[in-house]
Structure 1
């Protein structure tokens, strides 16, 4: 029996007005009723590109940034950050100062939500014409392939952006864990943004000023059930993030994230208690293509479900984003992107299914190849 996450709430466009997504079955419930079968709509025939083995991935050395050095302005660490953003678009952050207890509480809160009975989770289903709540995003057609995951997405900062009808407030400790985690992510994001500003030739508060004040924040909590045929499905389809940047917390003992590097998929083995940061489209645009928003995806496995928690940092809706003047050089690095209101960019992204970086063409001045 197909258990569909029907849209809840009112039919008016929600606070963000970013887009909408069709209701889809809960994959968690499908697996509960029949863990052997893989419905046709979840089978991805062409998963695209070779996968590098975990052994080889270890030797590739996805950059690791020591946040404690970065926060002190250590020049070597700032240079490492520059190379990480330029060559990889991804890096792991260690010594970030967020207590292990806060990370574990957040993971436990997300796990507890997905352990709720389906009828209880349905109370927080996404509203019509909105992307916030429980269900799935980027479903724009009844025929497109679906991802092997369920999610709940909530706007978390500033606090006036919170819509508590989508928060499982009756779940003990959920609100407290999410609020504490959100505060810690905001602190980390401010320091990272200050460093990105310096790397782009601005003062530490340069991007903050350009982006209309503090970065906004939304958190997407993902649940990937086990799959009897992980070779046939994708936990999340390849995409880049339409953010300034994203901070990801994932299970320490289950590798699921893969990033595209030199046209191959590289598994990212988590360092315990680290956070993974990836550059978003807005930063690629502001850096005039110097720093790359990289395609990434999630895979599943037969043995263990996986949770990941993505904290998206993004500008104000009404803020115009475009290459900063210091990153434009008419001779060597001409302007590649047009200036565009952030909300217009995000609406374009949410109007499509996840398909790599196709949506970034919307912001480009001329036909240029993807970075």
Structure 2
């Protein structure tokens, strides 16, 4: 896992000694984090609508407990992800040269072809990952055993995450008094995707720059031991503590638009650490194709229109503009 050949050439740590996970003195995490953890907690088994509403309005993010995903599955996904990333860079490239699973590094923003957008190596995000569209996995088998094992686990994982997303969105819709014809179409199972990330050891740059997600909901299974995720709250950056058997749920741009800005798409970033790498697995879900988002704050639009605009902005202005492009009386 610590072989530098496993990293993309532009992400290979410079002047870092190999990390020995058998040496407890070599296991150094990031800077100390807040204690107690400041993130609001939502219990999915005993869902409190008032607490959920407050978390969505004040934070745009919460920690989910009693979510029903087996702890063994969460651990298996993390362990298998580490095995997958430990493969050589060349073998990962070769294994994912055909869809549906794609391999990227340097930025999470993908072009329509699924290829990572290349940028100045000095300004890249220090991240590599696998992009896994869930709707195509059942017809996909891979000769690489590690990738095939990951496919099987992700399919099982996706059934739990789809259930969680639907339950949360229906509760949010009720809190917002939304009159939606088919709530499931706003968190369409067909749109679900998983991204598996590795953030290498480095003391320069960011694992991921400040951004908001374009999704309705994003559900994160983060490393149990290594912190890195930070969220913006009242103009202050807060560390999101890694706690075993919990999931982090954050709202994306689509949820903010659906709620007419009552709920927030939370700004977040990922910090890298010079001593230890970090693995995270995130599930994203979006409105179904053709679902029109109607809001008092924004012109009607579909997610496909939003995504196309984001991709155009990244190419032309160099960054995601996002929801402001769709505000009333704004030029697109």
Tell me which residue corresponds to 1:348. 309
How big is each residue's C-alpha offset from its partner over 1:241-292, in whole Å with a ceiling of 9 and x where there is no partner?
0001100001111111001111121110022110000001101001000000
Query: 5 Å matches for 1:65-84?
Result: 65-70=42-47, 77-84=48-55
Gap regions ≥5 residues in structure 2: 18-30, 110-115
Displacement, 1:340?
0.6
Relative to structure 1, is the Cα distance of residues 109 and 338 closer, same or farther in structure 2, using a 3 angstrom cutoff? same
Displacement, 1:203?
6.6
- Does the residue aligned with 1:222 lie in a helix, a strand or coil? strand
The answer as to 2:239 corresponding to 1:267 is yes
Aligned equivalents of 1:176, 1:163: Cα separation in 2: 11
Tell me which residue corresponds to 2:254. 282
Displacement, 1:322?
2.5
CA contact (8 A) 1:168 1:174 kept: no
Displacement, 1:361?
1.1
Query: 5 Å matches for 1:303-322?
Result: 303-322=275-294
Displacement, 1:173?
2.2
Relative to structure 1, is the Cα distance of residues 309 and 65 closer, same or farther in structure 2, using a 3 angstrom cutoff? same
Tell me which residue corresponds to 2:205. 233
- Does the residue aligned with 2:279 lie in a helix, a strand or coil? strand
Relative to structure 1, is the Cα distance of residues 262 and 109 closer, same or farther in structure 2, using a 3 angstrom cutoff? same
Say what the alpha-carbon RMSD is for the aligned residues: 3.1
Gap regions ≥5 residues in structure 1: 1-24, 38-52, 71-76, 324-334
Tell me which residue corresponds to 2:298. 337
Relative to structure 1, is the Cα distance of residues 352 and 309 closer, same or farther in structure 2, using a 3 angstrom cutoff? farther
CA contact (8 A) 1:92 1:275 kept: yes
Tell me which residue corresponds to 1:362. 325
Partner of residue 66 from structure 2, selected from 48, 70, 95? 95
CA contact (8 A) 1:89 1:291 kept: yes
Relative to structure 1, is the Cα distance of residues 238 and 224 closer, same or farther in structure 2, using a 3 angstrom cutoff? same
Relative to structure 1, is the Cα distance of residues 255 and 60 closer, same or farther in structure 2, using a 3 angstrom cutoff? closer
The answer as to 2:206 corresponding to 1:243 is no
CA contact (8 A) 1:28 1:149 kept: no
Tell me which residue corresponds to 1:15. none
How big is each residue's C-alpha offset from its partner over 1:282-317, in whole Å with a ceiling of 9 and x where there is no partner?
010010000000111101112211001110011123
- Does the residue aligned with 2:62 lie in a helix, a strand or coil? strand
Tell me which residue corresponds to 2:90. 119
Relative to structure 1, is the Cα distance of residues 268 and 152 closer, same or farther in structure 2, using a 3 angstrom cutoff? same
Relative to structure 1, is the Cα distance of residues 340 and 79 closer, same or farther in structure 2, using a 3 angstrom cutoff? same
Query: 5 Å matches for 1:37-186?
Result: 54=32, 57-58=34-35, 61-70=38-47, 77-125=48-96, 133-136=102-105, 137-138=108-109, 140=117, 142-143=119-120, 145-156=123-134, 159-160=135-136, 164=140, 169-171=144-146, 173-186=149-162
Aligned equivalents of 2:191, 2:80: Cα separation in 1: 22
Tell me which residue corresponds to 2:173. 197
Displacement, 1:99?
0.8
Tell me which residue corresponds to 1:188. 164
Displacement, 1:151?
0.9
Relative to structure 1, is the Cα distance of residues 113 and 352 closer, same or farther in structure 2, using a 3 angstrom cutoff? farther
How many equivalent pairs are there?
Answer: 302
The TM-score normalised by the length of structure 1 is 0.73
